[in-house]
Structure 1
Amino acid sequence: LPHPNHPLCDDSSRPTDRPRRPSRRVERIHCLISSRIRLPLLSPPKRPRTRAHRDMMARTRRGVKFPHKTNGHGEGRRSSFSDVSEDGSPSKLKTGAALDNIAEQPPKSPEEEKREAYEKKKANFLTRTFWTFVMFGGFFAALVMGHIYIICIMTAIQIISFKEVIAIASVPSRARQLRSAKSLNWYWLATTMYFLYGESVIYYFKHIVLVDKVLLPLATHHRFISFILYIFGFVFFVTSLQAGHYKFQFTQFAWTHMALYLIVVQAHFIMNNVFEGMIWFFLPAAMVITNDIWAYLCGITFGRTQLIALSPKKTVEGFVGAWVFTIIFGMLLTNVLMRSDFFLCPVNDLGANIFTGLECTRNPVFNPKTYSLPPLFFLPPNMHKTFSFTVAPMQLHTLVLATFASLIAPFGGFFASGLKRTFKIKDFGDSIPGHGGMTDRMDCQFIMGFFTYMYYHSFIALHKVNLGDVMEMAVTGLTVEEQLELVRGMGRYLSNQGVWGDEIIQCLDKALQAKR
């Protein structure tokens, strides 16, 4: 007969030397195992002897799933900040329901397992292929429609990537107790985006912002306003600190600021590349994608030597082969893009698209130039002039960009791989079906866009006075009387140049005298 305290176990299987009675759920699982698969009853876990051991076990959350992060399906995140990880191997903990399913299901034959694995790979391949075409189609559609649509896409990528990275460090039980933690994360994001976007708008559209009655005070005091907004968030964070949650709250504070720098700030530089000219956005992004493809193809074809332990499938042969093919692709793509002013001109009209085009004076870097090789000691002087070649300087800059995209940008992906191994997750999220999260696709693009911005402003950009700079100097550096005198002087100059007649000068003088 079954024992009264163990309905599914008889006396022969009931332990007699157990020091402490386990919970009913543990008893049920142990008895199910012993009765169905004929194993001896498992002994209960031992209670930690010291307070330090109890605290360590309380902090351990390995194997915990968070359904609200997986939209009700998928594996989701399996760990949090409290995990101690070195090898990166995921936990194998199973719940009671999982043990019941294992006990009830009969073993599958090898043929059935192979067939299920094949169907799973096939479905995953079809999903990845479909969403790959969707992403490429959406990207090229935005590229054709104009700069403003690319800016909107980059803004969405910023927000989604920030959400995915913040979710890694979130502990739902703590977040429910501290409602302000999640709100503060989004407040930091909004404040940072206000500062960065405002800086770009003021810099690239001074001629519009500085003459508007509403936008002028916001533009003049933009940095101070941004700082005050940050101070409000800082004060609110300090006042929201609660005893017993200090470590979690300060961890969230540090993690949020790291995410703002690694994602929002770097993505903002990519937007600035769009304003400088579409080629500075499209060319680096295309080279990173091409490098990833050729690294895979060269790796499966010639790969023998492992490149880095964080990504065991990456090989030295694939790394070097992708470098060569990325340079070739970059040179060809540069030659194509230089034929259209739409890709070369800085943005002066947000409504422009690839059909209307843009007009500007080209940067000299896009004009062909003849280079002569330096004199060689073993050649006679009359042969020095024969060793020359003509090429646009932009194609030489492409060599630098392609080299960075091949040799340095992949380390952004390796950094992301190390981060995922730390938290024992496969992907940052499931924003893109079949591809994981948005951060998984953009990890190399962020650092590549940042480098392109710095390289462009260091070696390529033309630093000259433009209309926006003159307007800024006149509005912020001159008094009202000096501004009126500037208007009168410009009117006389234009009259002398024949741009307008003397009657306009007379009307202008009358208007200025009336103002006085």
Structure 2
Amino acid sequence: MLLSAIGALEFGFAYTTIFCMIIMTVAFSEMVKLQRMHQNEVKIVINSKIIEWYFFACFQLLLIPKTWLTLPILQKSGLAPEPGSFIHAFCYEYHSLAVFMLLTFGVILFVVSLQEGFYSYQFRMLGWTLLCAILIISGCQGLLLALWKCRIWFFYTVSCVTVHNAIDYLTCHFFPLRTPMLILKPEATFEGFTAGAISCFLFFSIVVTYLIDLPWFMQVANRITFLPFDNTSHSLAQ
């Protein structure tokens, strides 16, 4: 995982973003499948998959222009939409209103999709979809926001997850006390989670003093480019 992140970072900010977007989409798809029941879906005219991906797109539209695909970075890249154009108005000038209208339409679409005999299942799927969308998309978009602010924050996040998982695994298997923590993951323990969290803090406290002195980690994106290994698209953070 850590090597994949470093490789994506070396390719460029745009490729790292694409890499994260793909992982986010796959994660959302797999999570919503956990509650989906095929025997119910075949009997519903507007099945849950349409509702799921509609809200997924809405949350993406809500966060992308506010996190990493901002108007200033587009202007520096020469990709900014013309003022007064539909894209400029929809994604930036009246962005909040546009997303609100789309979400409202999504709620209406859900109400229209309700079928007698499946109310409980459909409401459960809606709740699960919104929960997955909020947690997965906000987390990944926050990670991308950190990436476009400074490369070190993306590396720190991925490396901390790696350290946490490694220490958690070792603690769960070799520590004498094992207090179960999660139903979805029976091997997870409170001791492992705590040890992993402490390890993340110690890891960052120790290595950050060395990482900030390395120019590779302190790069900030200046513009969007799809040219691999383009060193002119980023500069050293001030």
**TM-score if structure 1 supplies the norm length?**
0.40
Among 138, 150, 160, which residue is 1:277 paired with? Answer: 150
Deviation per CA, 1:277-311, whole angstroms, max 9, x where unpaired? Answer: 1111111220221122133335545x111233534
Instruction: Report if the CA contact (8 A) 2:54-2:106 is conserved.
Output: yes
Which residue of 1 is the match for residue 137 of structure 2?
264
Deviation per CA, 1:153-185, whole angstroms, max 9, x where unpaired? Answer: 111121111111111111101111114221111
Distance 1:355 1:294, change over 3 A: farther
Q: Which one-letter code corresponds to 1:292 in the other structure?
A: N
Instruction: Report if the CA contact (8 A) 1:298-1:321 is conserved.
Output: yes
Deviation at 1:331, TM superposition (A): 3.9
What is the Cα-based RMSD across aligned positions, in Å? 2.8
Deviation at 1:191, TM superposition (A): 1.4
Q: State the secondary structure of the residue aligned to 1:170.
A: coil
Larger helix proportion of the pair: 2
Among 189, 194, 200, which residue is 1:314 paired with? Answer: 189
Deviation per CA, 1:242-300, whole angstroms, max 9, x where unpaired? Answer: 21121111111111111111211222111111111111111122022112213333554
Distance 1:234 1:340 in 2: 49
Which residue of 1 is the match for residue 218 of structure 2?
344
Deviation per CA, 1:417-472, whole angstroms, max 9, x where unpaired? Answer: xxxxxxxxxxxxxxxxxxxxxxxxxxxxxxxxxxxxxxxxxxxxxxxxxxxxxxxx
Distance 1:324 1:189 in 2: 33
Q: State the secondary structure of the residue aligned to 2:27.
A: helix
Distance 1:276 1:179 in 2: 44
Deviation at 1:186, TM superposition (A): 0.8
Among 194, 205, 208, which residue is 1:334 paired with? Answer: 208
1:217 and 2:86 equivalent? Answer: no
1:191 and 2:58 equivalent? Answer: yes
1:288 and 2:164 equivalent? Answer: no
Instruction: Report if the CA contact (8 A) 1:305-1:315 is conserved.
Output: no
Q: Which one-letter code corresponds to 1:212 in the other structure?
A: E
Instruction: Report if the CA contact (8 A) 2:221-2:235 is conserved.
Output: no
Distance 1:342 1:331, change over 3 A: same
Which residue of 1 is the match for residue 111 of structure 2?
238
Task: Map 1:301-450 to 2 at 5 A.
Answer: 301=174, 303-310=175-182, 311-312=186-187, 314=189, 316=191, 322=196, 325-351=199-225, 356=231, 358-360=234-236, 362=238
Question: Which has the bigger relative contact order, CA under 8 A and spacing at least 6?
Answer: 2
Q: Which one-letter code corresponds to 1:266 in the other structure?
A: G
Q: State the secondary structure of the residue aligned to 2:189.
A: strand
Distance 1:276 1:177, change over 3 A: same
Which residue of 2 is the match for residue 143 of structure 1?
9
Instruction: Report if the CA contact (8 A) 1:283-1:333 is conserved.
Output: no
Instruction: Report if the CA contact (8 A) 1:146-1:350 is conserved.
Output: no
Distance 1:258 1:322, change over 3 A: closer
**TM-score if structure 2 supplies the norm length?**
0.80
Q: Which one-letter code corresponds to 2:207 in the other structure?
A: L
| Alignment gaps of 5+ in structure 2 | none
Task: Work out the number of aligned pairs and report it.
Answer: 226
Among 11, 28, 38, which residue is 1:172 paired with? Answer: 38
Q: State the secondary structure of the residue aligned to 1:177.
A: coil
Distance 1:178 1:137, change over 3 A: same
Q: What's the % identity of the aligned pairs?
A: 20
